[in-house]
Amino acid sequence: MAEFETVNFFKDRAIQDDPFAYYDWLRSQHPVWQEPKYGVYMVTGHEEAMAVYNDATTYSSCNTIAGPFVKFSVPFEGDDVSDVIDEHRHELPFSDQLPSFDPPMHTAHRGLLMRLITPKRLSENEEFMWRLCDRQLDDLLDKGQCEFISEFASPFTLLVIADLEGVPESDHGAFKSRLTNLIGGPTSHNPLEFLYDQFTQYVEDRRKNPRGDVLTGLATATYPDGSTPEAKDVALIAANLFAAGQETTVRLLSFALQMLGDRPDLQKRVRDDRSLIPNFIEETLRIESPLRGQFRMARRRTTLAGVDIPAGASVLLLPGAANRDPRFFENPYDFDIDRANARKHLGFGFGIHTCAGAPLARAEGRVTINRLLDRTSDIRISEAAHGPAGDRQYEYLPTYLFRGLTNLHVEFTPRHEAVNV
Ligand code: HEM
């Protein structure tokens, strides 16, 4: 279609609302296609995206969020720009965040992070999730309806990460009021500053006065080589988990609920057979991937799927497109709860940067869907807010980085059963 040739993927509102026909068009040009506005190489094929995710030697993550929009202070020259990247990467936004690191720094910081997300911590955190979920549902269910994102998903995902990192419950209220919306809500302060300050204080305090709590574990964790990180580096990692894990999971939970509300047949199947929930969550992530794209920068001239990529070029991996690549997923537009390879979606990325919080996000989905189904006999999309079945109106986030609903109004019939906590 001619009009797709002139689309500005990064700004066009219509594409933000519905990118899928555009993704198909891109893939039909070539699974790696250079868009004309900014010269970004758009990767829509599953195999091609995997090739980039798996090659951190050729592709730097320094621009994973900045993309082509912020340039280095020096120009690129020649077929290998590795030195320029290494010397100037701090000039790019989010350069202090784990997703934008490359090895060996990435390896050390990721190693530190993974000492915090241990199987034991995840299992304690899941116990907290069940309690928190019920507590939040206690407040909501009797109303018979809610705006799911602001009333359930946002506070839930925020407090789950707070608990994972051992933030004392007495501070949960402050976290809730300061971290209103990490992706562009109207805030009078920088939420990340609040997190840096708060965690620097926690770390300094626990290093002086160890207490045997989770924050003490955080404060005394070491890099894989045994060295002790500076307090500010620990604070960065702790803050990064909120930035990386909150809004993304909010979008997963809301897409899952949207699906249950829009598809009563599916809702019935999942109600009757809860063992379907894990694959239901994978299929939700495949069909609606909350992170729209991750950039990479070619360190040196290379070739991807036969396309010549110059050194310094921006490459954009599009999980939402790769997840509907018909060469990999049969009937990619069908939401198929029985899909055998659903878990092979790229919603969590792949390779060395693969989502560190994936087990957490999956558990949040599992707990929320289970308890919502336990405690209701029916969940419906609000017709007053979104229109009748077959003609729903949903609003999506106006950004090329995230794919997500801005609001989701649902109604439910509560079930007054004995709550099992
Ligand atoms: C459904 C929810 C989530 C989605 C869709 C998601 C998606 C992703 C993706 C695609 C990446 C790879 C970025 C890249 O390659 O540049 C990533 C990285 C990351 N995610 Fe998630 N994420 C989710 C939830 C979480 C949660 C709950 C946490 C933690 C509490 C988390 C922490 C991280 C971290 C720390 C990274 C960086 C890993 C690294 O660079 O080594 N994410 N996530």
Residue 211 maps to which CATH number?
A: 1.10.630.10
Q: Can you tell me which atom of ligand 1 is nearest the CA of 64?
A: 16
Going by alpha carbons, the residue nearest to atom 32 of ligand 1 is 357
What number of CA atoms fall less than 13 Å from residue 347's CA on the CB side? 27
Find the 248 Cα to ligand 1 centroid distance in Å: 8
pLDDT-based confidence at 365, cuts 50/70/90? Answer: very high
Residue 19 within any structural domain of the chain: no
The pLDDT of residue 1: 54
Residue 11 within any structural domain of the chain: no
| Average pLDDT estimate for 33-61 | 97
Helix 358-374 / helix 154-164 crossing angle, nearest 10 deg = 130
Higher per-residue confidence, 252 vs 399: 252
Residue 420 within any structural domain of the chain: no
Pocket lining: 235 vs ligand 1, CB cutoff 6 Å:
no
- Domain of 350 in residue numbering reads as 27-414
Long-range CB pairs of 233-237 (<8 Å, 24+ gap) are 233/109, 233/112, 234/112, 234/199, 234/203, 235/195, 235/196, 235/197, 235/198, 235/199, 235/200, 235/202, 235/203, 236/96, 236/97, 236/98, 236/196, 237/98, 237/109, 237/112, 237/113, 237/116
Q: Can you tell me which atom of ligand 1 is nearest the CA of 106?
A: 41
**230 pLDDT higher than 70:** yes
Q: What is the rounded CA–CA span in Å between residue 185 and residue 202? A: 26
Pocket lining: 346 vs ligand 1, CB cutoff 6 Å:
no
Pocket lining: 248 vs ligand 1, CB cutoff 6 Å:
yes
Q: Can you tell me which atom of ligand 1 is nearest the CA of 100?
A: 40
The pLDDT of residue 115: 82
Going by alpha carbons, the residue nearest to atom 39 of ligand 1 is 353
Q: What is the pLDDT of residues 260-317, one digit of tens each?
A: 999 999 999 999 999 999 999 999 999 999 999 999 999 999 999 999 999 999 999 9
Q: What is the rounded CA–CA span in Å between residue 208 and residue 108? A: 24
Residue 37 within any structural domain of the chain: yes
Per the structure, the count of domains in the chain is 1
Pocket lining: 290 vs ligand 1, CB cutoff 6 Å:
yes
Residue 90 within any structural domain of the chain: yes
CA 205, 210, 215, 221: dihedral to nearest 10 degrees?
A: 100
Find the 306 Cα to ligand 1 centroid distance in Å: 29
DSSP H or E stretch at residue 259:
helix 231-262
CA 145 from centre of chain: 26
The answer to whether residues 27 and 45 touch, using CB atoms and an 8 Å cutoff, is yes
Q: What is the pLDDT of residues 77-135, one digit of tens each?
A: 999 999 999 999 999 988 988 999 999 999 999 998 888 888 999 999 999 999 999 99
pLDDT-based confidence at 183, cuts 50/70/90? Answer: very low
- Calculate the average pLDDT of the chain: 92
Find the 406 Cα to ligand 1 centroid distance in Å: 20
The answer to whether residues 304 and 315 touch, using CB atoms and an 8 Å cutoff, is yes
pTM above 0.85, yes or no: yes
Pocket lining: 348 vs ligand 1, CB cutoff 6 Å:
yes
Residue 12 within any structural domain of the chain: no
CA 127, 168, 234, 129: dihedral to nearest 10 degrees?
A: 20
Going by C-alpha positions, the residue among 291, 297, 42, 24 that lies closest to residue 183 is 291
Question: Could you tell me which residues are beta bridge partners of residue 402?
Answer: 291
Tokens 């790019």 correspond to 92
Residue 5 within any structural domain of the chain: no
Residue 1 within any structural domain of the chain: no
Q: What is the pLDDT of residues 382-396, one digit of tens each?
A: 999 999 999 999 999
